[in-house]
Amino acid sequence: MSIDYTSKIPNNVDLANDRTLQRALEHWQPRFLDWWKEMGPVDSSNADVYLRTAIGVDAEGWASYGEVKMPDYRWGIFLADRIPDRTIGFGDHMGEPAWQQVPGELRSQFRRIIVTQGDTEPASVEQQQRLGLTCPSLYDLRNLFQVNVEEGRHLWAMVYLLHAHFGRDGREEAEEMLSRHSGDADKPRILGTFNEPISDWLSFFMFTYFTDRDGKFQLKSLAESGFDPLARTCRFMLTEEAHHMFVGETGIGRVVRRTLEVMKEIGSDDPEAVRRQGAVDLQTIQRYLNFWFTSSLDLFGSEVSSNAAGSFANGIKGRPDETQYEDHVCADAIYELETPQGRESVSLRNAMNEVMRQSYIRDCEMGLKRWNNQIQRAGHDVRLALPSPKFRRSIGAWANVPTDPAGNTVTREEYDRRMPEWLPSESDRAFVHSLMQRVVEPGKMAGWIAPPDRGINSLPVDYEYVKLN
Ligand code: BYC
């Protein structure tokens, strides 16, 4: 079904023919807009931003580009097309027709997962609220705003499911999405990482590389769900998500490139000398990477999880790209994992969070390879590396076990003492913050980041992507 843009809420779910649902969502809409005004990007409501907006859900030509004032962005409800006769592809219901309604006995589990997913979307907008004030270029400012409006749309995606399929509970949960806030002492966001402040652009690029990539894997696993409206919703969200990770990967790559240019100019790789020239030394980049990677690993939950086993068995949540596996039932399969107590064999169903985390880690390696190629080509021996998944964990078997980034167990005293080598220290953060000066002349870049290889949608890099008015 094509997208109806004439409705108050653009959608391809035939909202016009479901008056009750339409009214409920139109009631939520002004609350969302109030939240956006209060918690969305500061100082942005007058700007004309070169944004892409979804106009279809097919892979080709799904978006159109043009100047939009962000409060006028058409947040809507878009599901990927229905696959005729789709059947459930994993777990105990393997082969049965996919559900068009939530099975009553799985209602609370589905609600919990949809709420958790939905909660991350506005959380990230809140985390990034003030970044526009220190953008390194108009190109980057536009990308930030694009990411922000699409996270807002992803909230709409989950709120639609809650309203359409969970009755009164769902409506209440939709309200709650706007009342929890990132970092709030009383009503924080649900998952840890989404309460971490993102107050500089290096953190933003790390977040879009590492944390949005958790989004990719979680959405892929929900795109396998037996509950068809959830699967279709997530399939379309993944199309939008790809750009967010692109922002992270190219953002970090551009910071590295600028650092290498400075190292060449001054003929030194001394971190202090690099900093004096206004670039971020590779060691600080590594510490930021350590922080966001480890925090994002926690988002997969515990290595051994009865929740994960239940979700898989019941057809709620599959593995990302389930078709890559031969056994989709996993009733008797065993998974080996390393815990602080030694090697353990557990039921594969109980280890689904760990299976996903391992695929995620492999995916994270790709960017590292590219950045390290740049460093190698520039003739330097330093390499960026992912720390061990045992390092600095707060969730799961390795939670609160002191290890170094290589995963060797260390004493608590050594762990605390050496932390400034491993994670951004107060002085690292102060230095990175000192670089965050707003640059808004078309085509100009802040001194700590190289320009992108190309602009948006074939436009030049010096196009005025945001007219600040
Ligand atoms: N922080 O059995 P366990 C994205 C809780 S990112 C705090 O270990 P389970 C995006 C857990 O909720 C993708 N709490 O794990 C990215 C449970 O609590 P309850 C977001 C945590 O349940 C960037 C308890 O610990 N989507 O889209 O198998 C920008 C025991 O849990 C954490 C999803 O996460 C944590 N890190 O799996 C914008 C998908 N980890 O219920 C957007 C939906 C665990 O006992 N969520 N807990 O009170 C899920 O599938 C699962 O809830 C989790 C946890 C994977 C998160």
What does each of the 469 residues of the chain score in pLDDT, given as a tens digit? 678 888 999 999 999 999 999 999 999 999 999 999 999 999 899 999 999 998 888 877 788 999 999 999 999 999 999 999 999 999 999 999 999 999 999 999 999 999 999 999 999 999 999 999 999 999 999 999 999 999 999 999 999 999 999 999 999 999 999 999 999 999 999 999 999 999 999 999 999 999 999 999 999 999 999 999 999 999 999 999 999 999 999 999 999 999 999 999 999 999 999 999 999 999 999 999 999 999 999 999 999 999 999 999 999 999 999 999 999 999 999 999 999 999 999 999 999 999 999 999 999 999 999 999 999 999 999 999 999 999 999 999 999 999 999 999 999 999 999 999 999 999 999 999 999 999 999 999 999 999 999 999 999 999 999 999 8
Residues in the chain, overall count: 469
| Residue-level pLDDT at 190 | 98
Nearest CA to ligand 1 atom 27: 215
Q: Rounded to whole angstroms, how far apart are CA atoms 120 and 31?
A: 18
- Minimum-distance ligand 1 atom for the alpha carbon of 208: 23
- Minimum-distance ligand 1 atom for the alpha carbon of 394: 36
Q: Rounded to whole angstroms, how far apart are CA atoms 193 and 358?
A: 19
pLDDT per position as a tens digit, 65-89 = 999 999 999 999 999 999 999 999 9
Which of 298, 299, 347 maximizes ligand 1 atoms within 8 Å of its Cβ, making it the mutation to test the pocket? 299
Tokens of 391: 């390092």
- Minimum-distance ligand 1 atom for the alpha carbon of 190: 7
Q: What are phi and psi of 345, to 5 degrees?
A: -105, 125
124 pocket-lining for ligand 1 (C-beta < 6 Å): yes
Q: Rounded to whole angstroms, how far apart are CA atoms 291 and 272?
A: 21
29 pocket-lining for ligand 1 (C-beta < 6 Å): no
Query: How many Å lie between the centroid of ligand 1 and the Cα of residue 299?
Result: 5
Query: How many Å lie between the centroid of ligand 1 and the Cα of residue 353?
Result: 10
Nearest CA to ligand 1 atom 44: 301
Query: How many Å lie between the centroid of ligand 1 and the Cα of residue 301?
Result: 6
302 pocket-lining for ligand 1 (C-beta < 6 Å): yes
Tokens of 175: 């309200």
- Minimum-distance ligand 1 atom for the alpha carbon of 317: 50
Q: Cα–Cα distances in Å, from 443 out to 43, 48, 375, 429, 468?
A: 21, 17, 25, 27, 15
Q: Rounded to whole angstroms, how far apart are CA atoms 362 and 454?
A: 27
Which of 218, 300, 350 maximizes ligand 1 atoms within 8 Å of its Cβ, making it the mutation to test the pocket? 218
- Minimum-distance ligand 1 atom for the alpha carbon of 300: 55
| Residue-level pLDDT at 1 | 65
- Minimum-distance ligand 1 atom for the alpha carbon of 151: 38
Nearest CA to ligand 1 atom 14: 191
- Minimum-distance ligand 1 atom for the alpha carbon of 222: 39
Query: How many Å lie between the centroid of ligand 1 and the Cα of residue 126?
Result: 19
With CA atoms as reference, report the closest residue to 383 among 352, 404, 405, 360: 405
Nearest CA to ligand 1 atom 11: 301
Query: How many Å lie between the centroid of ligand 1 and the Cα of residue 362?
Result: 20
294 pocket-lining for ligand 1 (C-beta < 6 Å): no
192 pocket-lining for ligand 1 (C-beta < 6 Å): yes
Nearest CA to ligand 1 atom 21: 191
Query: How many Å lie between the centroid of ligand 1 and the Cα of residue 5?
Result: 34
119 pocket-lining for ligand 1 (C-beta < 6 Å): no
300 pocket-lining for ligand 1 (C-beta < 6 Å): yes
Q: Rounded to whole angstroms, how far apart are CA atoms 211 and 119?
A: 14
| Residue-level pLDDT at 57 | 84
With CA atoms as reference, report the closest residue to 208 among 146, 153, 158: 146
Q: Are 64 and 51 in contact (CB under 8 A)?
A: no
- Minimum-distance ligand 1 atom for the alpha carbon of 307: 28
Q: For residue 84, give every residue at least 6 positions away whose Cβ sits within 8 Å of its Cβ, in sequence order, or none.
A: none
pLDDT per position as a tens digit, 182-220 = 999 999 999 999 999 999 999 999 999 999 999 999 999
Query: How many Å lie between the centroid of ligand 1 and the Cα of residue 426?
Result: 29
Q: Rounded to whole angstroms, how far apart are CA atoms 152 and 266?
A: 44
Q: Rounded to whole angstroms, how far apart are CA atoms 455 and 88?
A: 41
